[in-house]
Amino acid sequence: MSERIYIVSDGTGQSAMSMMRAALLQFEKPDVKFTVYSMIDREDQLVSILNHAKMDESFIAYTMVTRQFRKIIKKYLEDNNMKGVDLLGPPLDYLEIYLGMEQLEKPGLLRKVDERYFKRIEAMEFSLTHDDGKTVKGILEADLVILGLSRTSKTPTSFFLAQQGFKVVNIPLVPEIPIPKEVFEIEQHKIVLLVMDPEVLQKVRSARLRHYRTTSNYNNLPKIFSEVEFCYELIRKNRKWSMIDTTNKSIEETAREIIHTVYGRDMEL
């Protein structure tokens, strides 16, 4: 007959599950089954679970940030001669003494952190898929659309923003190539156009050409002036778009200016 471990938590219970699985690796093929009770937020609910655990003769591993719930479980285990382990209480109590601060006792904080983490991962995957005009499929899901001439920092800025949880589509601007029609189907205030001082842009492009050891009119100054003028003409025609000058700006500065421009200064990176 299998032994049973009850995982009891006012969060997801994943931390307790991971710790118990890690501990069980130190035993040779133990026959153990888990029962997980998560999001516990009522005393009667907790007592009912403990009663079931008693009937099942289960071991209880619990992660409860609520001090009162921890006391209930500890007393129940003592009164009923049951085995269990408080995985979160002792670290919280020791940290409270060390830090000289009271515990918040707010369940779900780790879950919020995890949600932000997964949001960033999703944003990074989205932005990688939609980098440099690879595709505009899914553009309606974007938080930001960055248009820009070559070498105006579209890609690094997009990836920096994605790391903060923003889904970004970035599309290169080439005067001879029409802008995808999908760009005009999204909320137009989400569109940001990156430009750079023509002479600085020429130096950036020239450095790139030297790296690849090729000749091209890619860094031709009159051509670059024409491209920049093309950008200003786009802004004149599309009044809801924003323009950001990236000349001599760090990626972080450009990203912050984009967010402040599109979402306001209350939105921080």
The domain of 218 spans 115-263
Q: Give per-residue pLDDT as tens, 168-198.
A: 999 999 999 999 999 999 999 999 999 999 9
Same domain, 90 and 134: no
Same domain, 127 and 248: yes
Q: How far is 114 from 57, CA to CA, in rounded Å?
A: 33
Same domain, 119 and 238: yes
Q: How far is 176 from 82, CA to CA, in rounded Å?
A: 76
Q: Is 156 helix (H, G, I), strand (E, B) or coil?
A: helix
**pLDDT above 70 for 111:** no
- Token pair for 146: 């960055």
Task: Out of 73, 107, 141, pick the residue that ends a domain.
Answer: 107
Q: Give domain status of residue 268, yes or no.
A: no
Q: Give domain status of residue 269, yes or no.
A: no
**pLDDT above 70 for 67:** yes
Percent of the chain with pLDDT strictly greater than 70: 94
Task: Out of 83, 107, 131, pick the residue that ends a domain.
Answer: 107
Q: Could you tell me the CATH number of the domain that includes residue 59?
A: 3.40.50
Q: Give domain status of residue 181, yes or no.
A: yes
Q: Give domain status of residue 245, yes or no.
A: yes
Q: Give per-residue pLDDT as tens, 9-40.
A: 998 888 899 999 999 999 998 899 999 999 99
Same domain, 121 and 240: yes
pLDDT at 207: 87
- Token pair for 4: 């049973």
Q: How many domains does the chain have?
A: 2
pLDDT at 113: 58
Same domain, 148 and 259: yes
Same domain, 162 and 80: no
pLDDT tier at 105 (50, 70, 90 boundaries)? confident
**pLDDT above 80 for 225:** yes
Task: Out of 107, 136, 160, pick the residue that ends a domain.
Answer: 107
Same domain, 140 and 253: yes
pLDDT at 208: 83
Same domain, 215 and 84: no
| Count of other CB atoms within 10 angstroms of residue 118 | 11
Same domain, 239 and 157: yes
pLDDT at 101: 92
Same domain, 194 and 94: no
**Side-chain-facing half-sphere of 158: CA atoms under 13 Å:** 33
Mean pLDDT of the chain: 92
Same domain, 160 and 90: no
Tracing tokens 């950008």 back to the chain, one arrives at 231
Q: For the residues of 246-258, what is the DSSP string, one character each?
A: -TT--HHHHHHHH
Query: Which of 208, 209, 191 is closest to 262 using CA atoms?
Result: 191
Same domain, 71 and 200: no
Least confident of 116-130, 140-154, 243-257: 116-130
Q: How far is 46 from 40, CA to CA, in rounded Å?
A: 7
Q: Supply the pTM of this predicted model.
A: 0.62
